Structure 1
Amino acid sequence: MAKRLLPLLNRVLVEKIVPPTKTTAGILLPEHSSKLNSGRVLAVGPGLRNEEGNHVPVSLKEGDTVLLPEYGGTPVKLGEKEYHLYREEDLMGTLHD
């Protein structure tokens, strides 16, 4: 049975993107090559209420690629995979092609 985590409030479930360690030709890449701390959004919470009681939805959606802070987030292990939960305001931005 596969479990699916649905975040609460303004939380975002992210799967970190691991840069490749080899090229398609089999050449090993150095660890310090330009790697960006990024992840893919898997699920988002419904949002928060502001001081006036109005609903403020999360501005991210499933499938977005986000820039992650160097530290932070709560690791969550579901099955064999590890994910991270962040508050929306802790994420640094979205990445677009």
Structure 2
Amino acid sequence: MALSIKPLADRVVVEPAPAEEKTASGIIIPDTAKEKPQRGTVVAVGAGKKDEPVTVKVGDTVLYGKYSGTELNIDGKEYLIMRESDIFAVI
């Protein structure tokens, strides 16, 4: 899916994974108690800085900090835009 925005410099747009609906034991979690996901899929990347190329690519599944990024709503879908340095790992 092509987004209508192109991040600048070392910024990355991530589509967060859906929040868990149930616990491991099968208890349904209400919307008010759901944790913000800390995992998502990269959907757009910037070109990087002059001496620091971006190392993640579109399609990578990444882990990021709980409060990382700025929330965006594009065409009715939720995304996060963050600096690549806010990403902890590619899984």
Q: Where on the TM-score scale, by shorter chain, does this alignment land: which range?
A: 0.7 to 0.9
TM-score, structure 1 normalization: 0.72
* Percent identical residues: 39
- Summarize deviations over 1:38-85 as a string: whole Å, max 9, x none: 0000000000013xxxxx320000000000101120111112111000
Off by >6 Å, runs of 4+ in structure 1: none
Q: TM-score, normalised by structure 2?
A: 0.77
The structure whose Rg is larger is: 1
Contact 2:72-2:79 within 8 A present in 1 as well: yes
Uncovered stretches (5+) of structure 1, i.e. residues with no partner: 23-27, 51-55
CA distance in 2, matches of 1:76, 1:87: 14
* Root-mean-square deviation over aligned CA pairs: 2.5
- For 2:21, the equivalent position in structure 1 comes to 21
Q: Unpaired segments of 5 or more residues in structure 2? A: none
Q: How many residues align?
A: 83
Alignment of 1:1-97 (within 5 A): 4-19=4-19, 21=21, 28-31=26-29, 37-50=38-51, 56-95=52-91
Query: Residue 92 of structure 1: SS of its match in structure 2?
Result: strand
Provide the C-alpha distance between the structure 2 equivalents of 1:19 and 1:30, rounded to a whole number of angstroms: 12
